[in-house]
Structure 1
């Protein structure tokens, strides 16, 4: 693990200086728009200023990590890949531009042939996003594909078909990790995953091996992970979903990220659990894309952050 304490102080100062210079340049120019220069409107300039002020909360928290000689582990997951869309190309371009690894959850039964080329870039790991992203919940129940009103054997057979499709299609780029659609799974399905060849489960919320936790259970009690199954979850969704997908807002997201990092630093939550950023490329509006670019630029180069591929996190993940 990188230790950014006193030895990282020059790097931290350099990062802050370059970050502020970059912000100053971007207030009057669009550096990523083919070199074209234009004057921002006052409203746009105010929005950028407010966002950068919000980032100060994150900077202050990361300074605390650096002062303690610690580094926070972050990773990035994107859901719902099925075809080589312009949105997917934009996502992959952002990862490549910031030189950051990304895990992309693909829907096996919905994939088109062009997805292979779209995900062939270095730094991409493919995960399994259910089977067809179809809701099988009973009336009045929350949406679920990995469970619901079907026999366990049917669900597991379908997931097995999906795993084989991804293995054949992506080879070594595929990691047998299940990302349940809607981040929800029946406990009986989760318990059977190790026997089906899965190395891990990626949902949303804190991981727990020996007690209730997380938000992924279809039952009233939260999900308890089975033995021999790693859990590498997402914790910061850039979108809100009530009433349809919408950008959660820069100020809220930065505050949540700073709070969740603080909780890890203080031991209020598992300090060793990597913090996952969750995106859904098909549902991003321009505000979401703009915030994602700024966030990646901010955290990707910070000396108090280890931005790691899920394959590395798997080797560090505790499994009973």
Structure 2
């Protein structure tokens, strides 16, 4: 368990070392406008923090695109294709980007999804894949750069910054939802413990340049009141802590973001 003081202490250790801990914010499952999205955008605006939205291409609406055009600094990441589970019931782990279908079919859908995001969101869309349920078959990862993806974002500590050549992995580490329990807010102490632990681990990275950005993961369509309160408090406090910097996804993936012309639909080797 951890407290706000523990977060402040960790931020001070970063500052005392002359370094800056990098935090970023990803919110998943965006498809349309609504009260929850407005609440999310209001928090972002209130504390001037960078936000990236993982958008489901097959469900994304023109209304969402129009709303985000008024917030051009919000980055759009690709959240699979349709957020549909193709795993067997016996597997007990939902998965869209698995080997339950031919790889060419999966990759073809992802290419189609990118074209939809490009059409709707233009330059706001980044060439970053966020697998639904944060799961992707390992054998599909090397194929992502072949269809134009330059970034991958899942959940948990990454094994290496670049799992394959041409692909940068930047994950989230603090999920605010207790999916295996109440399906509500995981709790202030638990969320702060995850955050402080991830920052401490990043600070201990050797060499320091290899420190992993720490990602906070929210789901605006599943948040309860306590979760919203924590999110607001987190950004209010984090923006004032020396030693921490909240970075936009675009800056983190900047060397890996390319023009949409590199995308192909359903054409990948392997």
Whether the TM-score (by the shorter chain) exceeds 0.5 is yes
- What is the alpha-carbon distance in structure 1 between the residues aligned to residue 182 and residue 84 of structure 2? 17
- What is the alpha-carbon distance in structure 2 between the residues aligned to residue 291 and residue 115 of structure 1? 25
Which SS does the other structure have where 1:289 is aligned? helix
- What is the alpha-carbon distance in structure 2 between the residues aligned to residue 201 and residue 153 of structure 1? 19
- What is the alpha-carbon distance in structure 1 between the residues aligned to residue 89 and residue 185 of structure 2? 29
Q: How does 1:1-320 map to 2 (within 5 A)?
A: 54-120=3-69, 121-141=71-91, 142-209=93-160, 225-243=163-181, 245-267=183-205, 272-315=211-254
What count of residue pairs does the alignment treat as equivalent?
Answer: 253
Cα–Cα, structure 1 residues 242 and 199, in superposed 2: closer, same or farther, change >3 Å?
Answer: same
- Is 1:138–1:148's contact at 8 Å kept on the other side of the alignment? no
- What is the alpha-carbon distance in structure 2 between the residues aligned to residue 55 and residue 139 of structure 1? 41
- What is the alpha-carbon distance in structure 1 between the residues aligned to residue 191 and residue 200 of structure 2? 14
- What is the alpha-carbon distance in structure 1 between the residues aligned to residue 84 and residue 67 of structure 2? 24
TM, length-normalised to structure 1:
0.75
Relative contact order higher in (CA < 8 Å, ≥ 6 apart)? 2
- What is the alpha-carbon distance in structure 1 between the residues aligned to residue 194 and residue 128 of structure 2? 26
Q: Which has the larger radius of gyration?
A: 1
- What is the alpha-carbon distance in structure 1 between the residues aligned to residue 255 and residue 127 of structure 2? 16
Deviation of 1:290 after TM superposition, in Å, equals: 0.4
Which SS does the other structure have where 1:108 is aligned? coil
- What is the alpha-carbon distance in structure 1 between the residues aligned to residue 255 and residue 165 of structure 2? 16
- Is 1:152–1:188's contact at 8 Å kept on the other side of the alignment? no
The gaps in structure 2 that reach 5 residues or longer are 257-270
